[in-house]
Amino acid sequence: MASKASGERVDLPGFFSDLVRCETRLYNALNDRLRERHGIVTSQFEFLRYLRDHPGARVADLAAEFAAGIGAISKGADRLERQGLVVRQPNPLDRRSSLLTLTDDGLRLVNAADGTFTERLTELIAEVLKAHPITGTAQLLSELRSVLERDQIGTPTG
């Protein structure tokens, strides 16, 4: 089924399929490289990077950022805590929650993995970037994400 958008005919189901399959393949390729070089997978890297950039975040903050369930994020935090990469501290504003902070080891790991992540992602998309500027696509996806988040579409319950 084609849809008319901005005067163009667009195969929206095809667009969706391409978008999801690209995301899956990029995610898997990044998983492989991060696991090989740093012993973590992409989801753990994203978790650690978020905590690096948002010190003292709550599990609920990560769940909102990644559109994931609180239980899944809490289990991920438990795993990273057992590995000595994250610590939980009492939340002075809410005794029911805790604040997550990177340990020194967690900070070193995410900083090292950040270079690997960027290097591998660049390798994976470089050929396409030579022929097509990515700025328009990046803007489109950013705006789409903003609308979906604003309207709380696709947000898990629980």
Query: Greater confidence, 36 or 130?
Result: 36
| Within a domain: 123 | yes
| Within a domain: 157 | no
Q: Are 100 and 57 in contact (CB under 8 A)?
A: yes
Can you give the pLDDT at residue 97?
86
The per-residue pLDDT for range 57-103, each reduced to its tens digit, is 999 999 999 999 999 999 999 999 999 999 999 988 888 889 999 99
| Within a domain: 2 | no
| Within a domain: 156 | no
pLDDT at 2 over 60: no
Residue 105 belongs to domain spanning: 11-150
Mean predicted confidence (pLDDT) in 38-61:
96
**Which residues pair with residue 11 across a beta bridge?**
2
Q: Are 99 and 58 in contact (CB under 8 A)?
A: yes
Q: Give the tokens for residue 57.
A: 């975040």
The domain that contains 39 carries what CATH number? 1.10.10.10
pTM greater than 0.75: yes
| Within a domain: 17 | yes
Mean predicted confidence (pLDDT) in 102-127:
96
| Within a domain: 155 | no
Q: How many separate domains does the chain show?
A: 1
The proportion of the chain whose per-residue pLDDT surpasses 90, expressed as a percent, equals 63
| Within a domain: 96 | yes
